[in-house]
Homo-oligomer: A and B are copies of this chain.
Amino acid sequence: MTGVSEGTRLVRTQGVTAPAGFRASGIAAGIKASGALDLALVFNEGPDYAAAGVFTRNQVKAAPVLWSQQVLTTARLRAVVLNSGGANACTGPQGFQDTHATAEAVAAALSNWGTDTGAIEVAVCSTGLIGDRLPMDKVLPGAQELVHEMAGGLSGGEEAARAIMTTDTVPKQVALHHSDNWTIGGMAKGAGMLAPSLATMLCVITTDAVADAAALDQALRRATARTFDRLDVDGSCSTNDTVLLLASGASETAPSQGDLDDAVLRVCDDLCAQLQADAEGVTKRVCVTVTGAATEDDAVTIARFVARDSLVKTALFGSDPNWGRVLAAVGMAPVRLEPDRITVSFNGSAVCVNGVGTAGAREVDLSGADIDVTVDLGIGGERASIRTTDLSHGYVEENSAYSS
């Protein structure tokens, strides 16, 4: 990867507060009946407030998505407030008013703390069950506590990462310390409803680099297209997906666009791997790579057909090298194919060459936790990969029992 010099370090013990100029907090506001952390704040102390965002492509968008898209038209953010325990989606005009009121409450609390902030500078993210109103009697008082905790807490980044978890079993954080003395950090949540454009997830990325909103936007769109857009756990796309990137400029270092692009890509890629590894019911981390395609888009399309195929996914759960199901899935993609040129490999072992099975194809060992499925189309020179998981009893159990 170009632009990442020696000395650049990626660490998973830090997140959004690793870059200079950011504070964060996570509290238990009482939104979740369990009493677990459920409300988080990420605050940009400046001196810059440039920001960019990428949102769900679902036509049914949650109130916080509609709000944050409006806020982002200013290309500027002071803070992000995030809650788990409720998606505030399909809640009508009242749900939108709840989001607005949340932003107002956070802005007021920040202003009281001495940082003059308007609601229009506060993005809102929500995750949880679709269709219920949020308990605003819990959310609004939480705003004060979030600001109070943020002011004093050193471990705010991790608390924030924990507070946005739903069916996630571990918080997801990463920080990249660039050798040129600037830093980028991020947190993400998401374990199911992971596809197809963004994973169903909330992700906040912070950096102390000096970068304007256009530079951030380019870096973020380029990175999400290659990472979150290619993570597909269950083919389901959420109403709430949001990825935000905030820059404080506190490092006083202005990286080149190439360096910024690469750093954002690495952070997104690492968070993506963490989401995949903690997906609902996952027992196998599967990477489907399509090579030899006429175009990269064709490769993505075909890889996605394989990654979403229930019969492929259940076979992989059973460690069964059932390559015929892979070919059947490939054959349904709306892409011109030459079936007699298709070669399929599992973990590097060819199981089907030129459309015909190889001797020993049924004996390939897929018992490990990582499975690579490679499909070479034999048509062109383009390639792409999709990360997915197997389809397990755990996935069925979690999603039939958990109303999410």
B131 near A324 (CB under 8 angstroms)? yes
Chain A's interface size range is: 35 or more
Contact with B along A15-51 (1 / 0, CB 8 A): 0000000000000000000000000000000000000
A154 within 8 A of B: no
Q: Which residues of B contact A397 (CB under 8 A)?
A: 393
Are A130 and B325 neighbours in the complex by a CB distance under 8 Å? Answer: yes
In angstroms, Cα B340 to Cα A356, docked, is 50
A192 to B317, CA, bound (A): 17
Flag if B400 contacts A314 (CB, 8 Å): yes
Asked if B236 and A311 make an inter-chain contact with CB atoms under 8 angstroms apart, the answer reads yes
A238 interface residue per 8 A CB criterion: yes
Selected from B91, B130, B322, the residue in CB contact (under 8 A) with A328 is B130
Whether the Cβ atoms of A324 and B91 lie closer than 8 Å is no
> Is A365 interfacial (CB-CB < 8 Å)?
no
Q: Is A361 in contact with chain B by the CB < 8 A criterion?
A: yes
The yes or no answer to A298 lying at the interface (CB within 8 A) is no
Interface centre among A58, A337, A392 (most CB of B within 10 A): A58
Q: Is A92 an interface residue (CB 8 A)?
A: yes
A333 to B391, CA, bound (A): 23
Within 8 Å CB of A356, what residues of B? 90-92, 131
- What would be 30 A-B contacts, judged by CB atoms less than 8 Å apart? A59-B330, A59-B331, A59-B332, A59-B339, A60-B339, A61-B331, A89-B324, A89-B327, A91-B356, A92-B356, A129-B324, A130-B322, A130-B323, A130-B327, A131-B327, A192-B311, A193-B311, A193-B328, A234-B310, A234-B311, A235-B308, A239-B331, A310-B399, A314-B395, A314-B396, A317-B396, A320-B400, A391-B396, A392-B400, A396-B396
